[in-house]
Amino acid sequence: MGDHFFGRFPALRMRRLRQLPQVRRLVAEVTISPKNLILPLFVRPGKGIREPITSMPGHCQLSPDQLAEEAREAQKLGLGGILLFGIPEYKDPRGSSALREHGIIPQAIAACKEAASELLVITDLCFCEYTDHGHCGVLGSIGRSGQWTVDNDATLAELGHQAVVHARAGSDVIAPSGMMDGMVRTIRVALDAEGFSHVPILSYAAKYASSLYGPFRLAAECAPQFGDRRGYQMDPASDVGQALREVALDLEEGADMIMVKPALPYLDIIRVVRDHFPGVPIAAYQVSGEYSMLKAAAGNGWLEEKAVVVELLTCIRRAGATMIISYWAKEAASFL
């Protein structure tokens, strides 16, 4: 071995695989295509509305007619799908507008289906956008202190109802994001009972209480009016074993796909989940904070946006993500 390596040192030249761009493309094992990307979109009632989101340059709150244009473009670009977030007609303590058969998400689904019939439409399932307090379900007190928090079990029935509303409207995939214990089983039972056993569930299985959600909360108008969501979303300091338990529970309850959120700071979680659950489709959500930070840096000329976007998406795919929910989906599809 010594003669082999040192007689003609360096006999092994790794740069031979890097010298030509044609060779680099040939041996690349991590690939990204538009079909791997899902575009999140924010929809609100009205007509002709395209309200810029100041914290997320390039994105807007859209009325259903304007959403239809985005859906057509997404289909033309060959994106894997879109993920819809609703900003409702009104808010109340229970988020009742989320249960309306002709509410904002059913309106949005109808507009997308008419404009782009082949496009996959995924709908976020939660109550934070619909409650006047901004939390992800029905409130209740806990313990002797009487502290207000989300009542897990009271919220489950509402989630099942909301899932059926989405499925009846034509949602292709239901994506519950509230991190309620037992939510996947409740939703699966509710869907099956109403004849929607064919509708898959993409569960936000490992969703962390991240500081990177700020721009999204402005976009979706869902910032908590008191407290925070650490009582139900995962602690960033928790061991990876907790994420594995969450994923295992959701799969056991009937999830067809699972999500890790955020993406880039949690590549280790994506990798561990991929290793422990081979064959399970994994979505990674490249969240608003990841988007806004790079937009700000690129706007100041500190980073070259296109190159960094491709690098980040590649890293997320390499970690094990099957699909990436990204606010760059349209731009990335145009230059991948």
Q: Is 76 a catalytic residue?
A: no
3-state secondary structure of 74: helix
Phi-psi category of 70—alpha, beta or left, where left has phi over 0 and alpha has psi -120 to 50? Answer: alpha
The span from the CA of 331 to the CA of 56, in Å, is: 14
- Among residues 261, 295, 306, 330, which one is catalytic? 261
* pTM (predicted TM-score): 0.92
Could you say which residues of the chain have pLDDT below 70?
1-8, 141-146, 220
CB atoms within 10 A of CB 287: 26
The span from the CA of 135 to the CA of 75, in Å, is: 33
Q: What is the pLDDT of residue 122?
A: 97
Q: Where do we find the tokens 């109340």?
A: 92
Q: Are residues 231 and 240 in contact, defined by beta-carbon separation less than 8 angstroms?
A: no
Contacts of 328 (CB under 8 A, 6+ apart): 37, 286, 291, 309, 313
Q: What is the pLDDT of residue 2?
A: 53
217 phi and psi, to 5 degrees? -65, -30
Q: What is the pLDDT of residue 322?
A: 96
The one-letter amino acid code at 208 reads Y
Q: What single-letter DSSP state applies at residue 223?
A: -
- Among residues 113, 207, 295, 330, which one is catalytic? 207
Peptide bond into 262 cis (omega under 30): yes
Q: Is 207 a catalytic residue?
A: yes
The span from the CA of 215 to the CA of 289, in Å, is: 6
Q: What is the pLDDT of residue 37?
A: 98
